[in-house]
């Protein structure tokens, strides 16, 4: 089985100007172009299913990918980005200025600090890992399945850590730009092997 992790195309905050978790930011024109480029690149494959986050930037990236395959994207709440709560749509400088105590706490314990009104990295990790396990279980008996998951950078980091058996400590070792993708081979024992990352 192959798991294809896909980051949504560019949206207005992908330049680092603000954290965009559950904010429903649309794709930019470049993001739309990236979505269609991904669809073209993946057209050579026979995808079994396309899953996506219900946020617009992920849905609009998944739509052309699924369409080329004759599929309909399956939206899953568990694939949403980290909920930044009160930090949504702010950059780190604003957060440091407006929430100095919380920012310091996050800096000391980024895994378990719960962002006010949002969630912790561990909560997001557990949520996405659980959802990924549910998805993979559906195709357990199909060794040729090719499952595409269109989601967000935080979720991709979490899922890569999970399926490769690295745990949350390896979270910051993965980075994927807008419109990027990775292919992870999953063997029968659910052991993941990273075969492609771009």
State the binding site: 57
Tell me which residue has tokens 């957060």: 95
Active site residue 8: yes
Catalytic residue among 2, 8, 102, 162: 8
Three-state DSSP state, 75: strand
For the purposes of burial, counting CB atoms within 10 Å of the CB of 114, is it exposed (0-12), middle (13-18) or buried (19 or more)?
middle
Active site residue 162: no
- Tokens standing for residue 63: 């739509």
- Binding site feature residues for substrate: 57
Catalytic residue among 81, 119, 152, 162: 81
**Cα–Cα distances in angstroms (integers) from residue 122 to residues 127, 130, 152, 169, 189, in the given order:** 8, 12, 16, 10, 24
Q: Please list the active-site residues.
A: 8, 81
């Amino acid at each position: 089985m192959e798991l294809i992790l896909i980051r949504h195309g560019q949206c207005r905050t992908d330049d680092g100007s603000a954290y965009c978790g559950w904010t429903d930011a649309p794709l930019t024109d470049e993001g739309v172009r990236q979505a269609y480029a991904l669809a073209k690149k993946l057209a050579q494959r026979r995808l079994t299913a396309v899953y996506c986050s219900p946020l617009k930037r992920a849905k609009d990236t998944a739509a052309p990918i699924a369409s080329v395959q004759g599929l309909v994207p399956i939206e899953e709440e568990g694939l949403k980005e980290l909920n930044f709560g009160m930090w949504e749509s702010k950059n780190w400088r604003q957060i440091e200025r407006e929430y100095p105590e919380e920012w310091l706490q996050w800096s000391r314990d980024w895994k378990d600090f719960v962002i006010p009104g949002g969630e912790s990295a561990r909560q997001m990790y557990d949520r996405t890992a659980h959802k990924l396990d549910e998805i993979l279980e559906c195709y357990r008996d199909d060794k040729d399945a090719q499952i595409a998951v269109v989601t967000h950078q935080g979720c991709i980091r979490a899922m890569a850590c999970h399926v490769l058996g690295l745990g949350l400590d390896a979270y910051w070792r993965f980075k994927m730009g807008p419109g990027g993708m990775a292919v992870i081979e999953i063997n029968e024992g659910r052991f993941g092997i990273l075969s492609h990352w771009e």
